[in-house]
Amino acid sequence: MEASCCEVSAPDLAEFFGAHLQERVTLGNVTLDQLKERFTDPRSPTLPISVDEYLDWLGREVLPYAVNVSSKKFIGHMTSALPDFMPELSALVARLNQNMVKVETSKSLTFLERQLVAMLHREFFPGAERRERIQDPGHVFGLVVSGGSSANITALWNARNRSLLALGLTKAEILECGAYELLRQRGYEGFAIITSPLAHYSIRKAASLLGIGERNVLHLKQDAAQRADSADIEAKLEVCRNRRLLVLAIVGIAGATETGTIDPLEEMGRIAARHGTHFHVDAAWGGALIFSDKHRRLLEGIQHADTITLCPHKQLYVPQGISLCLFKDSQSVHASSVHSAYQGRHGSFDFGQYTLEGSRPALFLCLHAMLCIVSKRGIGALVDQGIEATRFMADVIERHPAFQLIGAPEINILNYRYVPRHLRHKSSHSPEENRVISEAVKVIQERQFLQGKTFVSRTEILSARHCSEKITVFRVVIANPLTTHQDLRDTLAEQLEIAAETETHAEEMSS
Amino acid sequence: MEASCCEVSAPDLAEFFGAHLQERVTLGNVTLDQLKERFTDPRSPTLPISVDEYLDWLGREVLPYAVNVSSKKFIGHMTSALPDFMPELSALVARLNQNMVKVETSKSLTFLERQLVAMLHREFFPGAERRERIQDPGHVFGLVVSGGSSANITALWNARNRSLLALGLTKAEILECGAYELLRQRGYEGFAIITSPLAHYSIRKAASLLGIGERNVLHLKQDAAQRADSADIEAKLEVCRNRRLLVLAIVGIAGATETGTIDPLEEMGRIAARHGTHFHVDAAWGGALIFSDKHRRLLEGIQHADTITLCPHKQLYVPQGISLCLFKDSQSVHASSVHSAYQGRHGSFDFGQYTLEGSRPALFLCLHAMLCIVSKRGIGALVDQGIEATRFMADVIERHPAFQLIGAPEINILNYRYVPRHLRHKSSHSPEENRVISEAVKVIQERQFLQGKTFVSRTEILSARHCSEKITVFRVVIANPLTTHQDLRDTLAEQLEIAAETETHAEEMSS
């Protein structure tokens, strides 16, 4: 451990995290190996200490080494600066400590959450009948869950049961016999999911939970813009028929985690409807575009979705822990409900009968506040700004000889890579050369995180234009409204500096 | 809506929720039907409002109609008053807004969370080797999840995969082919879970997700104290062999939601070990007893568990949203991991590769603070106090002719019922009489919630001594350290008042 790391005092911390405008991403040059050495004592304290002593320790030993995800130069993951009222509201949520699992521990909050869900439902499904049903316990327009993974699992759990109902089976039979026994009775060999190759890995988590092998998660071909090729759906459905697999859902992505890509939802939805197959749209990231008059059209077709995943803790600027699974048909939730005697009774308002999770906080209040205080128009402006900034950065990258843009960004996520000097003037690269480029990207990205001044993430994607194997690319996510064009230039400049040092170092080593 | 409801102003709210000592549970006589009428507008605001306007509205229209779960007379559910520093800490968590899914958005917090989990692991599995492994990414002592349901689902997901590994299958095969195809290849007809009849309904949620029918969730017989009868396990295993079901786990309960019952963990654990079957203990509620020198012995045998569910947001006095699934074997988590290219890479510290959930807040800080500030000894004292108060209340109930205690409380949850005057002097009741008693309990409980001065919940349980069918009983949970003996007497007194009014009313109606 460097001595300097230990000298950060509590007041420094306040400066470090007190203002979203602080520029650093992390305290520089503290490695994970250095940090982990500090947290190896498994003993719990036997005797009390004061709150001040604890906060002082926390401020000295832990928080300075966290990540300032609010930094305007942190443009690598789906976290951003939040409105200033969010911490206060989070404190209120903790103080109230309502448990949304049942109405006896939340009362008015249950009704407000139901209203909030209906408000979001209205944005995505404008034509649906709603007002009379918002507070009818037989109708559920969506569920508030803790994150996008839970929302995707919820959607596919529901879709699986609905696929069995569509075979003429009853809910009681599904509960009593289980999905697989019924599936076999009907002569199927298994379930399948058809989705984009860029689907979030929680789709595979859901498959694993539901007992579905990854070979039954069929990935559609990609078009030139890395979108799922809807023309491939019929072929995949044919594969499933031949293998006697019941397709529980076709899953489209609105804002892929790695590339920001939006699948052709309109066509996917139409094909799903034609086959009576559940259509799920993972709009965890891209769902926020619904609030932008300018970019809403990119979501065209999302209204065909049977279920939608939306993560307000991503692009709706609320703290971690708030996502939703929306249901087009407000009665379809009953396909996957589970009841008990002490709560979640049939016909009650208790959310616990429907949610994967049981006890949960009233964090939805942060989202409700965001919608009321910042409003649809304000959120739309934030979305527009991120997309504009991303286009600017793409433009800078494209004009710089050291960088290679990988695909034009559809929204506010972009991929590019750094190409070492000796590989720049080639129109294409061999697999071996691509490995060299990928390694350079990896080294730069790790060094950049360590230095802590700017940050982008990295991933591995298929880009037919560049290589038949996966290549490592930088991944930029621009959602922080405080991020300026200069911040984007600074980020690229730091990468060039690191690259120059690395290449000089490599030359020195080889000379 | 009664006029009086609308007259509650923001300052009242502050009084209402500002101090844990406030006595009311809810604003009296506001029905759910009245409340729901207020939240039926599905339109999202188009234009911004100020934070003050929003908070003013919230304080006027919503919060006065929430439930004061911190009230010392709210002894019906598993929420309680929290230490005063929790709201502040929750605000800090929101301000940091770390995302625990990966180390790039949490850095030091990842290592502190790993340490915290090891601290809890040490309490339950004192002999295990730990120190060298706490910060070894190949070892995971437990996962922080959002609630007990998620923890139980995580445990059974892991157990299912481990049951397949035990058949000689590989992790790669499980991921690729899915659980059911492999199960059939090995000649099994399905999976089964053996558990207590008092298992939390999330065990059935997990079964539904995993595709297991409820007829394959085998409930053990109960002994006289409503504990799972471990002598019945062999018989149930025999049933599974005959039906060619692979038992993925035997599930014991430490602190049943409805009765507080603790199953015979020692014997269950031994039998599970003998058969090489995963042993999961749902200690969501009762796990806190590990901190009590006086009552820890009630958990004897929990060290045999392969996985343990623990809910700090229940009896460890942290806000909603923090539970854990602990793993005895710190490498067993790999049975249910899922990786991706942009995070959760193999060998990384990223939690997302293991957790059901993806993005999640650093709420574990609240638990770490609780363990440091209040300490093991302080938590133990809180647990002891709740159990003592519960015994006091049981004693009062037992000595009162109008009440009937249902089973002696093992910890701090108790069940009883009110018996209408004309049915009191009987040593046993007919099914019809039991229905009359159950109806009386239901009427009193609903009226009591509506009046908002004191609160207990209700459930339906089997009690062989009283009836061969389920009976409705009051359910008391005493965990609020501010609850006095007088509060308990007041709660019973209010029930007697309501009963007297109801009976008088019934007599008037029939006369």
* Residue A464, pLDDT score: 79
Q: Is A246 exposed, middle or buried, given 0-12, 13-18 or 19+ CB atoms closer than 10 A?
A: buried
d(CA B287, CA A147): 26
User: Are B356 and A150 a contacting pair at CB < 8 A?
Assistant: yes
Phi/psi region, residue A153 (left: phi>0; alpha: psi -120 to 50; beta: rest), is: alpha
Closest alpha carbon to B363 in B150, B71, B159: B150
Map residue B428 onto helix, strand or coil: coil
User: Are B210 and A209 a contacting pair at CB < 8 A?
Assistant: yes
| Residue predicted with more confidence, B134 or B7 | B134
Residue in chain B lying closest to A358 (CA): B149
Number of neighbouring beta carbons within 10 Å of residue B47: 8
Inform me whether the pLDDT recorded for B18 exceeds 80. no
Inform me whether the pLDDT recorded for B431 exceeds 70. yes
Q: Structure pTM?
A: 0.95
Chain-centroid distance, C-alpha A492: 25
From residue B418, give the alpha-carbon distance in Å to each of A104, A493, B17, B434, B495.
21, 75, 31, 11, 8
d(CA A228, CA A217): 14
List, for residues B246-276, the tens digit of each pLDDT value. 999 999 999 999 999 999 999 999 999 999 9
Residue numbers of A between 233 and 272 with CB closer than 8 Å to B: 257-258
| Residue A215 in contact with partner chain B when CB distance is under 8 A | yes
B378 vs A contacts (CB less than 8 Å): 48
List, for residues A77-110, the tens digit of each pLDDT value. 999 889 989 999 999 999 999 999 999 999 999 9
Per-residue confidence band for A510, with pLDDT thresholds at 50, 70 and 90:
low
| Residue B187 in contact with partner chain A when CB distance is under 8 A | no
What six digits make up the tokens of A275?
């086959």
What proportions of chain A, in percent to the nearest 5, are helix, strand and coil?
50, 10, 40
d(CA B357, CA A147): 6
* Residue B269, pLDDT score: 98
Enumerate the H helices of B296-430 as residue ranges.
312-315, 364-373, 375-399
| Residue B133 in contact with partner chain A when CB distance is under 8 A | no
Q: Which residue has the tokens 């009968």?
A: A353
**Among the partner residues B36, B114, B204, nearest to A338 by beta-carbon distance:** B204
Inform me whether the pLDDT recorded for A113 exceeds 60. yes
List, for residues A407-446, the tens digit of each pLDDT value. 999 999 999 999 999 999 898 999 999 999 999 999 999 9
Inform me whether the pLDDT recorded for B84 exceeds 80. yes
* Residue A379, pLDDT score: 95
Residue B265 · residue B283 · CB < 8 Å: no
* Residue B344, pLDDT score: 66
Residue numbers of A between 445 and 504 with CB closer than 8 Å to B: 449, 455, 457-461, 470, 475
Preferred mutation among A85, A253, A320, A446 to probe B, highest tally of B CBs within 10 A: A320
User: Are B372 and A180 a contacting pair at CB < 8 A?
Assistant: no
| Residue B190 in contact with partner chain A when CB distance is under 8 A | yes
Chain-centroid distance, C-alpha A474: 17
Residue B28 · residue A101 · CB < 8 Å: no
The alpha carbon of residue B504 is apart from the nearest alpha carbon of chain A, in Å, by: 27
pLDDT, chain B, mean: 92
B319 vs A contacts (CB less than 8 Å): 93-94, 97, 361
Inform me whether the pLDDT recorded for A168 exceeds 90. yes
B360 vs A contacts (CB less than 8 Å): 146-147, 320-321
Per-residue confidence band for A507, with pLDDT thresholds at 50, 70 and 90:
confident
Sheet of A245-253, strands arranged across:
A142-145, A323-327, A307-310, A279-282, A245-253, A190-195, A217-219
User: Are A82 and B91 a contacting pair at CB < 8 A?
Assistant: no
Burial string for B408-427 (b: 16+ CB within 10 Å, else e) reads: ebbbbbbbbbbbbeeeeeee
A449 vs B contacts (CB less than 8 Å): 104
Q: Is the dihedral of CA B239, B243, B247, B251 positive or negative?
A: negative
d(CA B96, CA A315): 17
Residue in chain B lying closest to A93 (CA): B87
A415 vs B contacts (CB less than 8 Å): none
| Residue A375 in contact with partner chain B when CB distance is under 8 A | yes
Inform me whether the pLDDT recorded for A327 exceeds 80. yes
ipTM for the predicted complex comes to: 0.95
Residue in chain B lying closest to A112 (CA): B39
Residue B362 · residue B98 · CB < 8 Å: yes
What six digits make up the tokens of A423?
């590989």
From residue A87, give the alpha-carbon distance in Å to each of A201, B52, B55, B418.
30, 15, 13, 45
Inform me whether the pLDDT recorded for A371 exceeds 60. yes
| Percentage of residues of chain B with pLDDT beyond 70 | 94
